[in-house]
Chains A and B, each alone.
Chain A
Amino acid sequence: MAEDMETKLKNYKTAPFDSRFPNQNQTRNCWQNYLDFHRCQKAMTAKGGDISVCEWYQRVYQSLCPTSWVTDWDEQRAEGTFPGKI
Chain B
Amino acid sequence: LTNTSISDAQEMETIWTILPAIILILIALPSLRILYLTDEINNPSFTIKSIGHQWYWTYEYTDYGGLIFNSYMLPPLFLEPGDLRLLDVDNRVVLPVEAPVRMMITSQDVLHSWTVPSLGLKTDAIPGRLNQTTFTATRPGVYYGQCSEICGANHSFMPIVLELIP
22 A–B pairs (Cβ distance < 8 Å), ordered by A: A12-B63, A14-B46, A14-B63, A15-B102, A17-B42, A17-B43, A22-B39, A22-B41, A24-B39, A24-B131, A24-B133, A26-B104, A27-B128, A27-B129, A27-B130, A30-B104, A63-B62, A64-B104, A64-B130, A66-B60, A67-B60, A67-B62
Name A's B-contacting residues (CB within 8 A).
12-17, 22-27, 29-30, 62-68
> Which of B46, B60, B130 is the one whose CB lies under 8 Å from A13?
B46
Q: Given A24-B133, A25-B131 in contact, is the A66-B51 Cβ separation under 8 Å?
A: yes
> What 1/0 mask marks residues of chain B from 105 to 144 whose CB sits below 8 Å from any chain A CB?
0101000000000000001000011111100000000000
Q: Is B45 at the interface (CB under 8 A from chain A)?
A: yes
Contacts of A27 in B (CB 8 A): 128-130
Q: Are B62 and A17 in contact (CB under 8 A)?
A: no
Q: Are A68 and B47 in contact (CB under 8 A)?
A: no
Please, which residue of chain B has its CB at the minimum distance from the CB of A59? B63
Q: Is B36 at the interface (CB under 8 A from chain A)?
A: yes
Pick from A12, A29, A30, A64 the residue with the most CB of B within 10 Å. Answer: A64
* Closest 5 A/B residue pairs (Cβ): A27-B130, A14-B47, A26-B132, A26-B130, A14-B46
Q: Are A66 and B49 in contact (CB under 8 A)?
A: yes
Contacts of B47 in A (CB 8 A): 14-15, 63-64
Q: Are A14 and B44 in contact (CB under 8 A)?
A: yes
Contacts of B106 in A (CB 8 A): 66
Q: Are B51 and A14 in contact (CB under 8 A)?
A: no
Please, which residue of chain B has its CB at the minimum distance from the CB of A23? B39
